[in-house]
Chains A and B, each alone.
Chain A
């Protein structure tokens, strides 16, 4: 299995530009998570989907951030417009989860390192 795939691995952009991060979860998994990791704030859950439906987006910092999951094998996280404080490593993770599941191991992708100048 290829694992969770994220692209790009590195992104450098200028303030005000639109940024789109992509994720392909592990085949057969039905839950997908987007995280942001910074030195100051640690690992933060931004949003998670189950069966392509957003379940909890309370971690999305503001309206500049949006996430979609059009099908079971693809998700995007978009920032528009980007700001320097968005610089971080963004991780995508996937899992198989059913109601009542307690052993829900999450499999993480390698991350996208975003730098906004």
Chain B
């Protein structure tokens, strides 16, 4: 079945540093890929997505490119802020029971210090 693997955290950075959070996947075909973010005390919310190979999703300065050659969807940001401190989840759909459900990675905690 489909699966996703994320780099383990926590990731600790200083403000304005460059961020990369690695995500690789195993899937049948070319499903959509997602990054969700969970801010402290809140539920997950969609950060960005890519629906086909070579697509780049972007939002709030974050980017991720769907690379089928390396089965990867790494999350990047050129200059992080303290407000980006959160847990980031990579996800992809899996067909089950006639419908798609989302498979989430383990999450990567990011802490940004001033």
A93 partner residues in chain B, CB cutoff 8 A: 43-44
In the bound complex, residues from chain A placing their C-beta under 8 Å from that of B100 are 97, 101-102, 104
Write out, one digit per residue, whether chain B residues 71-87 have a CB within 8 A of any chain A CB (1) or not (0).
Answer: 00000000000000000
Considering the complex, give the chain A residue whose CB is closest to the CB of B101.
A48
**CA–CA, A110 and B55, complex, Å:** 30
How many A residues have CB within 8 A of the partner chain? 25
**Cβ-defined contact, B99 with A99, below 8 A:** yes
Which residues of chain A come closer than 8 Å to B107, judged between CB atoms? Answer: 42-43
Q: Point out the residues of chain A lying under 8 angstroms from B70, CB to CB.
A: none
Bound state CA distance, A93 and B89, in angstroms?
Answer: 15
Chain B, Cβ-Cβ closest to A91:
B43
Q: Min CB distance, A83 to chain B, in Å?
A: 24
Q: Does B45 contact A (CB under 8 A)?
A: yes
- Minimum CB–CB distance for A114 against chain B, Å: 15
Residues B99 and A55 in contact, CB atoms below 8 Å apart: yes
B89 to chain A, nearest CB (A): 7
- Which A residues touch B98, using CB under 8 A? 55, 99
Q: Is the interface on chain B under 10, 10 to 19, 20 to 34, or 35 or more residues?
A: 20 to 34
Known contacts: A42-B107, A43-B89, A102-B93. The answer to whether A91 contacts B101 by CB under 8 A is no
Partner of B97, one of A33, A56, A102, A107: A56
Q: How many angstroms between the C-alpha atoms of A33 and B23 in the bound complex?
A: 24
Q: Give the distance to chain A from B73, nearest Cβ to Cβ, in Å.
A: 15
Chain B neighbourhood of A106, CB < 8 A? 44, 46, 102
Distance of B97 from chain A, by nearest CB (Å)? 4
Contacts of A48 in B (CB 8 A): 101
The answer to whether A42 touches B46 (Cβ under 8 A) is no
The 8 Å CB contact of A110, one of B43, B89, B99, is B43
Q: Are A110's CB and B42's CB within 8 A?
A: yes
Known: A91-B44, A102-B100. 10 other contacts (CB 8 A): A42-B107, A43-B104, A43-B107, A55-B96, A55-B97, A55-B99, A93-B44, A97-B99, A103-B49, A110-B43
